[in-house]
Chain A
Amino acid sequence: MPRRDDIKKILLIGSGPIIIGQACEFDYSGAQACKVLREDGYEVVLVNSNPATIMTDPEFAHRTYVEPVTPSFVEKVIAVERPDALLPTLGGQTGLNVAVALAESGVLARYGVELIGATLEVIKKGEDRKLFAEAMARIGLDTPEGGYAYSIADAEELVGTVGFPTVIRPSFTMGGAGGGIAYNVEELREIVTSGLALSPVGEVLIEESVIGWKEYEMEVMRDRNDNAVIVCSIENFDAMGVHTGDSITVAPAQTLSDREYQVMRDASLAIMREIGVETGGSNVQFAVNPRDGSLAVIEMNPRVSRSSALASKATGFPIAKIAAKLAVGYTLDEIPNDITHMTPACFEPSIDYTVVKVPRWAFEKFPGTDTTLTTRMKSVGEVMAIGRTFKEAFGKAMRSLENGRAGLGADGKDVFDEDRFDHMLAVPNEQRPFYIAEALRRGRAIEELHELTHVDPWFLDQIRQMVDGERAVSGTGLAAMDAEDMREAKRMGLSDIQIAHLTGTVEAEVRTTRLGLGVRATFKSVDTCAAEFAATTPYYYKTYEDEDEVAPSDRPKAMILGAGPNRIGQGIEFDYCCVHAAYALSDMGYETIMVNCNPETVSTDYDTSDRLYFEPLTFEDVMDIVEAEKPAGVLVTFGGQTPLKLAHALEQAGVPILGTKPEAIDLAEDRKRFSGVLDRLGIAYPAAGTAYTIDEAVEVANRIGYPLLVRPSYVLGGRGMVIAYGEEYMRRYVEQAASVSPDHPVLLDRFLEGAIEVDVDAVCDGESVYIGGVMEHIEEAGIHSGDSACCVPPFSLGADTIEHIKSHARALALELGVEGLMNVQFAVKDEHVYVLEVNPRASRTVPFVSKATGVPLAKVAARVMGGEKLAEMNLPDEDRDLGRFCVKEAVMPFGRFPGTDSTLGPEMKSTGEVMGVAPDFPAAYAKSQLAIDYSLPGEGTAFISVCDRDKRSIVPVARHLVQLGFRIMSTKGTARLLRASGIAVEEVAKVHEGRPNIVDAIKNGDVQLVINTPFGRETRSDGYHIRTAAVQHGISNITTLAAAQASALAIEAMKDGRLEVIALQDFGGDV
């Protein structure tokens, strides 16, 4: 069946900002869909509020709306664009929910828009747990026993039937949000309350627990001719009870016999047919009782999912691309297999390797939260590793996590809590794989560990072999190892660092010995077909085998090192830069080589670069690829800290580094040398010092004066950074949190309280500098730049100040010898411009600035590294009037981490960002707020409670809100002040003043807006309770004065109806 000609224009909805449970996999799938629909001659309209996505690059869709992914904004886009069809299955749960809302409210019917890929009925049957269970019963498949609760009382009644523990699953939520496992009534009430609140239909499933059963996923595709295939089976290492997003998973399934596998396959296809998914991909989850093989269906997602991104990367079968083609009428047998070109996509990939995915958590960012892994997803990213065997792949995955580990333990960093050893085995947690390995090292039996962990004995046996491999290595010693011993060690998944630790040597020595023995890595292809057909797409992984498949080539090669797993502080923005670098270098005639281990990304799409290596970003793994490919240059400045920290070692190993040299990076990062640079250039910076002991810290602090910004010397995303307002707090922090020592100095900077922070992204070619954008932060200095909202162009800075900032940036770029991207952070206080830090690499804001200005900075930088000069590039004038304001706002994951404080500070906590675009700043800010989860209230009660510092400045804000029709509620101190200024205030008790108090008011829905600025670092106080309650109830919670001012303006803009949608393509003239 050929493509449909009755539709011409297709609307695609993206998934919005990166949040836990919904990451850049939807940029990968959406970008693929945009590309193939365009190639097929359709006009593509895209809505996505996330500027750091490849899909929102203006060339991916015909009309790109960086607007909030909400029903009202998408409706506006529909009204302007009048698409024929809406493809809702590629934008995650967010996109799907918006599509459902638009269908149900009649908007789609009114504008004659057809839902393609999944109809409303299909979505509801797949996502509504009650309809789903009924459908399963009709086709004779079991689902865990349970029932639907719409209130706490319902839930308590149901639990009488299913018993404890019980699993709570809200309908229509994603990443297990609002769900959990309750072991008692108290937990039940708590989880059901949040589940009902988060489910858009107020429905939760109270389900019989199948904790301990084996968990499987099947990725299924079906076309409108009823051809259906399984793309990939995935087996979870962690048994039922851990969200699949938080589980270690393995592809293909390892412990099912063919009979059992085919039963699951038949069930998956029957489910597709019963639910009625006519075109596209779905994901079905099963639980299997390990004792008798009985099968229960857990859930299905009638859309492209995180698992389908993983399955695509694991098999080479591009699910999203094919789902898009199926949605417009093609059938599977009409679509060629991208990798073989000779065979059709209508088949089931066979793989001759093993894939392991391991989640990446960031609990250290959210102290106070429960770190147990449950049905509620908590990880912020993931890595995937490919090896011939599970052992190889698991070892690789464990060294890909960017957490300082070199594998599954045996790297000198193992620390075990002996008192809680078995608890750490029995209760799923981030450290559990290390405990399993250690238990096996200590000789504990597989059966016993299986009882404790419910991990399948086969996986435990594999880990036992890895541990035996360690023992063999340490028993033999490096000097005595022959080639066969060495090869066997590598085949057990051990890294050079682990071998070095086990043999008491260093990594470099292991490498030299290994290569001396002739034990070299070999590279094999991911080809969808287990070598049955020749593959034309060079997508490789490393292993230790006889044959190497890397195809020779004589074009100059440029190798781009990716950013590794998403974590807080390093997310999609860096992947975006790597992808742009690949595009630009390819345009320049380079053969591009991408190295990365993050399956969610566009960079690991085999279409992005000429050659893809799915490998960890460690020295060993990168060097092995360098030796296989011999690139003309390696780019280390696009993937954030991950590749940057390899720069020195690579350079020392003789690897040519393209662009900014490690020496320049050092100059910017070494604080002493950097102060020298600033002094030489006559640029001001906050007084600072380094301390190696407590006493030194006190001395430096006294010299500089409080408040102080204190942090460990090597940090990413402001990790562990605090603002100290006095000696006692500073002492406690330096002693405990930073555990200062000669090896771990702390850095102390004068904190410029109340200063305006400004970021600049620029490109330098060694001769001239192009300022890509000047971003004025909305929150004042002290909030990590990744967490603060900012605006391009600046909305309040004077022209002189901006000129100062730019000239400082130019001087710094040239002085440091930057060749490529550079980010400078400034603080402006009392008209004085201070430099806070310089990062001579791609920054988090590069995609935002590129989108805001229309100049693709990462591409410009890559061209510079490839040898072009800025002067040759015809870049638009830096000072041109953009004709718009673009506001970037950060998205916080606090809702996922109950118990942690939601105050912003110098430590970055956001997972993603959105952009608002409008002709004026207030409207742009309003859009940015509407694009994140919390909507801006148009009326109601604003609760205002500010610290003394902010009291004077809050008065005009309160007055503005009153003019906009808000009632004001305050605690005593702020109330007195506002009344004195003639503002009517309702007074409310503080938490410790008794009840009812402000938290009760928030819980009762009496407050629609919270403005609560903290001072210093209080935690278990009023502010903490207020912010926590606000987060739980989804109320806009403003913690800085500047944001309060901007919010009032934004509410005004919204109420005036000034929030029109604008396509990026309409900002003509500046690209």
Chain B
Amino acid sequence: MTGKRRALLALEDGTVFSGISCGVPGETTGEAVFNTSLTGYQEVFTDPSYAGQIVTMTMPHIGNYGVNGADMESRGVFAAGFVVRELSSMASNWRAEETLREFFVRHAVVAIEGVDTRRLTRHIREQGAMRAVLSTEDLDPASLVAKAQAAPGLVGRDLVAEVAVKEHYTWGAEMPSDCDLPVDTGVLSVSPHYRVVAYDSGVKYNILRRLAEHDCEVIVVPPTTSAEEALALEPDGIFLANGPGDPAAVDYLYRTLRELLGVKPVFGICLGHQMLSLALGAVTYKLKYGHRGGNQPVKNLLTGRVEITSQNHGFCVDFASIGPLVPELCGELTLDPTDLGAWVRAGVAPVVRSERFGPVQLTHVNLNDMTVEGVRPLEIPAFSVQYHPEAAPGPHDARYLFGAFTRLMDGCEDIFGDIFGKG
């Protein structure tokens, strides 16, 4: 162990984990969360939704296949820090361009290895996500715990501004200036059929790649873009991206969205789903420790099929808060709209009435904890999912949703039913 720099991770409840620094020296604060994906650490580390968080991977071996430019999910690293059990000393894969250690140094990331990450994960599971400090400089546990307690939490915090682009750009054609890597844009259409305005609240590149692959010209705009500005770009549809922080704090975005709903077809992912739900009148709440991983089972209540999904969210939508149940649109079933498990067992997608936008259907439910994973207003062209159909990392089961979006822009009624699984 000699010659190695020690590092400590302290949680606000006083729990301290010891390990070895495997990034740059420094100190960082954030909310401690865990991700259970077995592959795709690079995509996780470059996902802007992790801004303000210190991420631990439950997979003990991290870095085995190195890092490469094509797997970047944004222009850099936004998470506050990383905690791993063992960082690979080498990169073994034909696609590898550098080791993860080199990548951490290049991106000035504070990271720690040698930690009992399972203990940390169990602790977060039992106690909930909490504020933490990761340091290679201050190795006094008491001092670190005090810093963790003084750190800001995520509730009420808007982190979107920190990660979003400042000026709009067209994916593939004119990339933003602060994007120094050669970005893998995916397959671009020469003469795209659809034009989509994508509100960037921390969008993952793979969403843009998937949209482009589905024949969309994607204009990425800052989250503060007004409805008029967006409509001036003459889009066929509006896309709302994933992003970090507390969705309720991003009120300007869902207020803008209210002006667009019913005007243009809308598709939202993750934070975008929360934006749509908030626009429809829902409230959001913080989950105890969130959903982060690539193995979350989600049931599509319209097809009855289960998708294995990629997820990364700490906040969640309360479906019943959108409005009262509409039994005539639920096969006259009058189950409790807050008990989503009951609806799953009944095989019926419940519908509630939004005061402003009319009936809203629950389309997707997480089978692990029976929380909301997708909604769809029935009278205006929009839908959204809490999980990540673009995967990266994770399974491709939900890719069909990008096809559903193009069908929505085509004016189709049945956007999910007959195309499931062919996306």
Residues of A near any B CB (own CB < 8 A): 225-227, 229, 233, 252-262, 265-266, 290-293, 332-333, 342-344, 346-354, 388-390, 446, 456-458, 461, 465, 484-485, 488, 524, 529-534, 545-547, 549
Contact = CB atoms under 8 A, between A and B. Distances in A.
A243 B421 CA distance: 34
B141 interface: no
A252 B297 CA distance: 20
Contact of B296 (A252, A261, A347, A461): A347
Contacts of A549: 122
Contacts of B369: 343
B95 interface: yes
A226 B39 contact: no
Nearest to B296: A347
Interface in B367-419: 367-369, 391-396
Contacts of B421: 226
A352 B121 contact: yes
Contacts of A533: 125, 368
Given A532-B36, A549-B122, 18 more contacts: A226-B305, A254-B64, A257-B95, A258-B392, A259-B71, A259-B392, A265-B395, A266-B396, A343-B367, A343-B369, A351-B59, A352-B59, A388-B86, A389-B60, A456-B92, A458-B65, A485-B1, A533-B368
B373 to A, nearest CB: 14
B117 interface: yes
Interface in B59-106: 59-61, 64-65, 68, 70-71, 85-86, 88-90, 92-95
A534 B61 CA distance: 22
A352 B65 contact: no
Interface in B27-52: 34, 36-40, 42-43
B92 A532 contact: no
B387 to A, nearest CB: 13
B58 interface: yes
Contact of B90 (A226, A457, A532): A457
A1038 to B, nearest CB: 54
Contacts of A458: 64-65, 88, 90, 92
A261 B70 CA distance: 15
Contact of B71 (A258, A332, A350, A545): A258
A699 B61 CA distance: 62
Contact of A256 (B65, B297, B305, B394): B65
A333 B89 CA distance: 40
Contact of A344 (B85, B93, B367, B396): B367
Select the residue from A258, A290, A332, A350 with max chain B CB neighbours within 10 A.
A258
Contact of A293 (B88, B94, B119, B294): B94
Contacts of B125: 531-534
Contacts of A353: 60
Contact of A227 (B65, B68, B305): B305
A531 B65 contact: no
A493 to B, nearest CB: 12
A532 to B, nearest CB: 5
Given A350-B38, A524-B118, A332 B92 contact: no
Contact of A333 (B38, B60, B117, B299): B299
A479 B89 CA distance: 30
Contacts, number: 173
Interface string B291-326: 001111101000011101000000000000000000
A350 B36 contact: yes
B379 to A, nearest CB: 30
B213 interface: no
B36 A529 contact: yes
17 contacts: A226-B305, A258-B40, A258-B294, A259-B71, A259-B95, A262-B395, A333-B299, A343-B297, A348-B295, A348-B308, A351-B38, A352-B118, A529-B295, A530-B36, A534-B125, A546-B17, A547-B119
B116 A546 contact: yes
B59 A255 contact: no
A461 B294 contact: no
A352 B64 CA distance: 15
Interface in B207-249: none
B119 A545 contact: yes
A252 B1 CA distance: 28
A346 B306 contact: yes
A333 B58 contact: no
Given A352-B59, A533-B125, A457 B92 contact: yes
B367 A258 contact: no
A524 B121 CA distance: 13
A257 B297 contact: no
Contacts of B95: 257, 259-260, 293
A389 B394 contact: no
A664 to B, nearest CB: 43
B334 to A, nearest CB: 23
A534 B85 CA distance: 21
A461 B297 contact: no
A348 B393 CA distance: 14
Contacts of A292: 94
Contacts of B93: 255-257, 260
Lowest 6 A-B CB distances belong to which pairs?
A258-B40, A258-B393, A530-B58, A547-B119, A458-B92, A348-B295
A255 B395 contact: no
A249 B248 CA distance: 48
A227 B391 CA distance: 18
A987 B71 CA distance: 76
B1 A484 contact: yes
Contacts of B89: 461, 465
Contacts of A465: 89
Nearest to B91: A458
A353 B306 CA distance: 27
A348 B40 CA distance: 15
Select the residue from A259, A333, A344, A546 with max chain B CB neighbours within 10 A.
A259
Select the residue from B64, B95, B122 with max chain A CB neighbours within 10 A.
B64
Contacts of A390: 61
Contacts of B297: 333, 343-344, 346-347
A257 B65 contact: yes
A274 to B, nearest CB: 13
Contacts of B85: 352, 388-389
A354 B60 contact: yes
A353 B17 CA distance: 19
A253 B61 CA distance: 11
B33 to A, nearest CB: 11
A530 B119 CA distance: 11
Given A293-B94, A531-B58, A546 B119 contact: yes
Contacts of B368: 342-344, 347, 533
B417 to A, nearest CB: 14
Given A347-B296, A350-B37, A255 B92 contact: yes
A180 B324 CA distance: 68
A468 to B, nearest CB: 10
Contacts of A346: 297, 306, 367
Contact of B308 (A347, A529, A530): A347
A352 B58 contact: yes
Nearest to A352: B58
Contacts of B42: 257-258
Given A262-B395, A532-B36, A533-B125, A545 B118 contact: yes
A348 B118 CA distance: 18
B391 A262 contact: yes
Contacts of A225: 304-306
Contacts of B296: 347
A266 B40 CA distance: 16
A56 to B, nearest CB: 36
A457 B59 CA distance: 19
Contacts of A227: 305-306
A390 B62 CA distance: 12
Nearest to B119: A547
A352 B367 CA distance: 22
B96 to A, nearest CB: 8
B116 A547 contact: yes
